[in-house]
Amino acid sequence: MGGNPAQKKWIGPGDSTFVQVPFPDGYNNKDTSFDLFRKTLAAKGIRETDIAGVLTESYQGGGADFLPVAYARSLEAFCRSHDIVTIYDEVQAGFGRTGKMFCFEHYGVRPDLIACGKGISSSLPIAAVIGRADIMDLYAPGSMTSTHSASPLCVAAALASLEILQRDDLAANAARMGEILISELERIRNKYPSILAVVHGKGLVAGIRIADPKTGEPDGETALRINTHCYQKGLLMFAPVGPNGECVKIAPPLTITEDALREGIGVFEEAVDEALN
């Protein structure tokens, strides 16, 4: 179902029943209105009655790009009016990362299904689908199973993680720390506006797109250089993400304190200064 063809070459011929619609990130796709969705379907000759479900990431992991609120609400209204199942991918976004337990809460919508993983356990591999009872109850217990399901160790890790998330109100901590993180990243970006093209983020996840100052094209080499300087200074970062590896992604632990966050931002700024000068 993903929109990156390079990650699906090993699968073989694609499934024509999955249709991609550009994500309205405001960077790669300047049109952030819901007209983008409608126009894409019309160009592909797809009618509303042909659609079984719409699946979107709550934010795109390749750049921490969030849906515009108006777009998300228009999408919900569109799906409701045509009896289309709305599915949100919360694998990266869920469990406190964006400053709320689930990212879709920022949009004021209510999906029919959400796909979850990663943050459920904060450690061991486990995934879940959460949704409306009338959809989830279509299949009897035991009719949807797999070899690796029901691992007691992973379930124990998930229960412990969820308990700590609630006990320490880590979503609220992410919201508080996020205000510092995003404002500081914007300040750093303003030092090099022709290279640090845009900052997107919410809570404790952010992405900075790196661009060639002469052409405006994505610059993966400079993004990697910034990451390398961070690593050499003891600040562990994601490898650059995005279609061309041009996005420096930042996602501190949900438990981070203000002192630790500010220290990390200071190191990051030094790395940027060294990489760009």
Read off the CATH number of the domain in which 132 is found. 3.40.640.10
Of the listed ranges 101-110, 134-143, 191-200, the one predicted with least confidence: 134-143
pLDDT above 90 for 145 = no
Q: How far apart are the first and last CA of the chain?
A: 41
Residue ending a domain, among 113, 143, 167, is 167
pLDDT tens readout for residues 31-66: 999 999 999 999 999 999 999 999 999 999 888 999
Supply φ then ψ for residue 253, to 5 degrees. -60, 145
Per-residue pLDDT, averaged over 107-130, amounts to 95
Residues 99, 226 within the same domain? no
pLDDT above 90 for 238 = no
pLDDT tens readout for residues 246-271: 999 999 999 999 999 999 999 999 99
Residues 57, 85 within the same domain? yes
pLDDT above 90 for 222 = yes
Per-residue pLDDT, averaged over 122-145, amounts to 90
Residues 56, 24 within the same domain? yes
Residues 19, 113 within the same domain? yes
- Number of helices (H), then strands (E), belonging to the chain: the values are 7, 9
Residue ending a domain, among 118, 139, 167, is 167
CATH assignment at residue 183: 3.90.1150.10
Residues 179, 122 within the same domain? no
How many domains are there within the chain?
2
The Cα–Cα gap between 132 and 148 comes to 25
Residues 180, 63 within the same domain? no
Residues 152, 25 within the same domain? yes
Residues 210, 223 within the same domain? yes
Domain range for 135 = 5-167
